[in-house]
Amino acid sequence: MARGAWSHGKPQRVESCLNNLVITLTKAAHTIKIARAKQQREREEWAAEEKRRAEGREWKYEEDK
């Protein structure tokens, strides 16, 4: 892994490895961001559905009185 000179322009194994690591981390961060946004949307939809159901139960309860 010894480098002759920085100016010869040939990528070394360490540089290639670090480059691949940076690319992988970037893709992973993007994937995580998308997954978190999807989970947040699902939580909001679930909460809205739960609220609609609760309002429906209240309406039925008041109707029975």
Q: Rounded to whole angstroms, how far apart are CA atoms 60 and 65? A: 9
The domain ranges of the chain are 30-65
- Provide the pLDDT for residue 5: 58
Distance CA 33, CA 47 (A): 21
Specify the higher pLDDT residue, 45 or 58.
Answer: 45
pTM for the whole structure: 0.60
pLDDT at 1: 47
Give me the amino acid identity at 21. Answer: L
CA distances 54 to 16, 41, 59, 62, Å, are 57, 20, 9, 12
> Which secondary-structure segment (H or E) carries 62?
helix 13-64
Quick check: 58 pLDDT over 80? no
Structure confidence by residue, pLDDT tens digits, 32-55:
999 999 999 999 999 999 998 888
